[in-house]
Chains A and B, each alone.
Chain A
Amino acid sequence: MVVGDIEVGTDVLIAGAGPAGYTAAIRCARLGLDVTLVNKSELGGVCLHRGCVPVNTLLHVFRLADDCKGAGAMGIKADGLAVDYDKAYEWKDSVIKRLEDGIRDLCLGSGVQLMEGSCSFLSSSRAVVSGPSGNQHVNFKRAVIATGARHMPFPGIPFDGKVVLNPDEALYPGGVAEDVVLLGGGYAAMTIGALMAAQGRRLTIIHKGERVLSFLDDDIVRPVMEKFRAKGIKVYSTPSWAVTKSGDKMWVEFVRDGTEDSVETGKLIVAIGLLANTDGIGLENTGVKADKNGYILTDDNFHTDDQAFYAIGDVRGRHCNASKAFREGMSLAEILAGRPGWPEYEATPQTISTDPEIASAGFTEAKAREAGIEALVGRFPFTASGKAVSVGKTNGFVKVVAEKGSHRILGVHVVGPDAFDIAEEGVLAIEMGARLEDIVLTLHPHPTFCEAVREACAAALGESTNIVSKKAT
C-alpha cells in the first residue's frame, strides 16, 4: 500500500479490481511487470460483492431448504424447517469476505501494488487516486480501464436504494411479504427474479419483447417459466411501459394482450440494461473514445484510441460476463508483457441462476438456422437420467446443436440440475471442434448428471432410444 503525497510511478496502472482488473494485475505481476491495481472498495468487483457470488450463495441456502421441504418422500422430516435470514445473510457475507481475502492474498503475494480509492485520469500518463488516505498522484506508462458497468435506471425514475432498486440492491433480506415489481427480462432480471422467487417474495415480472431471455431457444426457457408460474410469479410481456411515482408508491402502466393494464407497487426493481462506468474517471483528459453508452472502444488487442490505454471487461460492453472478463485480463497481461494475446474463443458460457438453472454456450438452434447452418439437434430429458431420478430433480433437459454434415458440436444448452457444471463438457467440445461421436464414444462417470450431455449427443445421432432403453435395465 502506498500512502502520502509523494508521487508514485508505475509501469501498468489498472483502474478497477473486478474479475478483469485483478486477473490482469496478478498475471502482469507474475510476468515481471511493475503493476498497480486501484480498488474502489470492492476487490473482486460486482461479481463477488453484488452479483454472481452473493446471489448464488443465497440461492443455495433457500433452495437447500426447499429441497429438504420437498424431500418428504425420501424420508426427510422437515417440519418447522425455516431459513434464518440473519444467519443466511451472515453466511453470504462470510463467503464474500473469504473469497475477497483470497484475492487480496493472491495480489499481494504476486507483487501487485494495491491502492484503495477511485481513479481519475489527469492525462495520458498521470492519474489521481482519491482514497481513504487522501489523494495520491500516480505516474504511469500504460493504463488499463477495467471499471465495469452498472445498471441503467428507468428513464425519469432514478434508483433511490429504498423503493426503486437495481438488481444489486435487491439482495436485501427484509420485507418478504411486500409486492415487488421487476422490470426486465434479460440475464440480470432473471437472476434476481430467481432469488426473489426462491425467497418466496410476491413478484411480478414485466418485460419487453415476446419472452424473457430472448437470446436462448424458446424450449430452454420454458421449464423456468413453468416454475415461475407454479410459484405464483406473474410474468407479463409488453411492447411499451411507463412508470409513475408518488411518494413511495409506484404504478407501472403496460399493455397486456392488447389492453392497457397497471400495477401498483411499493418496491420496483429495474433491470433493463447496463451502462459503462466511464463517467468521472477523467476520460476527457485522454484520447480514449467511448460509444454513446460510455462503453470504451478498443481494437482486438484491447487497445483504445489512446496509445497508453487499454480496456477490458464489462467496460467494453458487448456481452458483460465474468468468464469473459477473466479471459480478457489474462490475455491483456500477455500483451502488456510484449507477448501475443490469447486467441479468439468460440463460445462464452452463460449461466443463469433460475430454477432450474440454465447454462448455455455456442449456437442456439435459432442462431444456427439464422446463420444458414443446417443443424442437427439432440435433446435428453432429465426424467430419463438415473442420477436425476435418484435425487428427485428431473425438471429440464440437455440440448445439443451440431452441424448436420460434419456432426461438429456448435452449441450446448442445459436447463436442469447442476446445469452450470455439466455444460462445460459441451463448451470444451465446441472449442475443440469435437463431433457428436467424440462425446458419445467417451465414457462418462456413472451415475451423474453429465451423462445427459452424452445422451443428448447420442439423441442427435438418432441413437438415443437404444441407449436409454439399455440404461433402464
Chain B
Amino acid sequence: MAYEFKLPDLGEGITSGEIKKWHVRKGEKVEEDQTIAEVETDKAVVELPSPVAGVVDDLKVPEGTKVNVGDVIAVIKEEGAPAEKEAPPMRAKAEEKVKEARKPEAKAPPAGEKKVPVLATPATRMLAKQLGVNIEDVKGTGPGGRITDEDVKAASAKPPVKPAEVPAKAPAAAPVGAEERIPMRGIRKTIADNLMRSLARTAQVTLVDDADLTKLVELRGRINQELAGTAKVSYLAFMVKAVVTALKAHPMLNSSVDDEKGEIVIKKYYNIGIAVDTDRGLIVPVLKNADKKSIIDISKELVHLTELTRDGKIGLEQLKGSTFTIANIGSIGGLFSTPIINYPESAILEMQQIRDMPRAVGGVIVPRKVIYLPLTIDHRVVDGAEGQRFLNDLKRYLEEPELLLVNMV
C-alpha cells in the first residue's frame, strides 16, 4: 500500500525547508530508517529517514524546491503492509529521527515547553514585532511568567542575535508641525526609481569642459534680428544640433546597454531627451529625429514640447524613445554640475549658464561668453577618452557655429 511521506514537523517553529538532495530515486527500494532526503531549513540541514520499508513510488518535488511541513514529498509503496495508512506512530518515529539527525547547535526544545501560547497581551506582542524582538525568546517577569512591555523593551535593548526581519526604524519624534510628510508617489516616485536604477546599473563618470560661445551669441543675435519676431532660435536648439552632429562621429554616446541580453545597442536615429523642470518634478520630453530637422524647426518644437510638459498635456509617446539627453540648468544658474544618466542611455549633457568670463585671446585677456559643459558617460560603454573626443567636437561646433552648416543635411 502507498505511504504518503509528508515533511514532518522539524521543531523550533520551522514550517518549511528546501529539498537539498534526494538520496533515493523513483523505483528504488528503501529500508526503514534509511535516509531518503536532505532538507535545508534556515537553521540546519536535516536528514529525513524513511518511516517505512518499501519501494519509492514517487518523488513529488525536485531538488531545490521549498516545501512546507505537512506537504507530501514522496510516496513509498510499502511491502506486505496490511492497509493504507498514515500511521501516527510512524510519523512520530520520523520526527524522532529528525531530531537526532539535527546538527548539535540546533537545540531541541525542552520537553513540556511551548505547549500553551506565549503569555503576553496582543498589544505587547505587537510591541515585540515593532521592536524586532522574537517574543518566544523573551523571558517574562510578570505574574505567572507574563511578558510585559518592559520585558520586550529590555530584550530589544540587547544586541539582537540576528538582524530584525523588518528594519522598522521608528522615526525620531519631532515637535508637532515641525515636519510634513508627503507620500512618495506618482511622478516623484517615478523620478526616484529611475534615478536609483540609473545609479545602480551604470558606471557613471562626469567630464567637464567649457566652450567659448561668443561667436554663437553673435550669430544667434543676428539670426533673431533677421527673423524679426516671426520666430526665435534658442541656444538649446543650437546645442541640440551640435550634439547630434557630434554624436554621429561618436556613436557609442548614442547607444544603450541591453542588460538582459548583454548587448550594446547603437542607435542610428537621434532622439534627444530634453529635461524640463515642472511643478510636478523633472520630466523629459523627446525631440525625435533631431538630425533631420532645421535649427528653427527644433526651436519651435522645443517651445511646443516644453509648454505641453509644463501644462501636463504631454502624451506618453512624446516621453519615450530618447537616445541622448540634454539638461539645461543654465536657465536657473550654476557653474557646473554632475548630471545623472537617463537610463538606459549612455550619456547626458548639462548646459550650464552662459557667463561673461575672462579668456586669453591672442595673448590678451578679454571678456568672453563662456559655458561649462558637464558630460556624464556610462563608463561601461564609453571610455573617458571617447567622451572627451565627443566634447572636443561639440566644443568646436559651438565655438565655430558655421561648421554646423557644413554638416547640415
Contacts and interface: CB of A to CB of B under 8 A. Distances in A.
Given A6-B316, A32-B185, A408-B144, A344 B166 contact: no
B68 A343 contact: no
Contacts of B316: 6
Interface stretch (A82-90, A261-269, A334-342): A334-342
Contacts of A432: 121-122
B68 A291 contact: yes
Given A34-B186, A432-B121, A433-B121, A339 B115 contact: no
Contacts of B144: 406, 408, 435
- Tell me the dominant secondary structure on chain A's binding face: loop
A305 B126 contact: no
A341 B66 CA distance: 23
B301 to A, nearest CB: 24
A371 B121 contact: no
A34 B116 contact: no
Given A32-B185, A297-B68, A433 B119 contact: yes
A141 to B, nearest CB: 9
A433 B166 contact: no
B165 interface: yes
A432 to B, nearest CB: 5
A378 B116 CA distance: 18
Contacts of A350: none
A343 B125 contact: yes
B166 to A, nearest CB: 5
Contacts of A372: 112, 115
Contacts of B66: 289, 297, 305
Which of B16, B129, B185 counts the most chain A CB atoms within 10 A? Answer: B129
Contact of A408 (B116, B125, B126): B116
Number of chain A interface residues as a range: 35 or more
A435 B130 CA distance: 27
A410 interface: yes
A431 B129 CA distance: 16
B68 A340 contact: no
Nearest to A289: B66
B117 interface: yes
Interface in B71-113: 71-72, 112
B146 interface: yes
B132 interface: yes
Nearest to A410: B116
Interface residues of B, number: 31
Contacts of A289: 66
Contacts of A11: 185, 189
Contact of B126 (A301, A343, A403): A343
A345 B112 contact: no
B298 to A, nearest CB: 29
Which of B117, B126, B130, B132 counts the most chain A CB atoms within 10 A? Answer: B117
Contacts of B115: 371-373
A341 B116 contact: no
Contacts of B68: 291, 297
A169 interface: no
B212 to A, nearest CB: 45
A345 B183 contact: no
Contacts of A430: 117
A346 interface: yes
A299 B16 CA distance: 9
Interface string B188-226: 010000000000000000000000000000000000000
Given A11-B185, A408-B144, A431 B132 contact: no
Contacts of B128: 343
Nearest to A7: B316
Contacts of B165: 301, 340
Contacts of A301: 165
A342 B129 contact: yes
B185 A431 contact: no
29 contacts: A11-B189, A34-B186, A291-B71, A299-B16, A300-B15, A305-B66, A335-B166, A338-B166, A338-B168, A340-B130, A340-B165, A340-B168, A341-B129, A342-B126, A342-B129, A343-B122, A343-B125, A343-B129, A343-B135, A346-B117, A373-B115, A408-B116, A408-B119, A408-B144, A410-B116, A431-B122, A432-B121, A433-B119, A433-B120
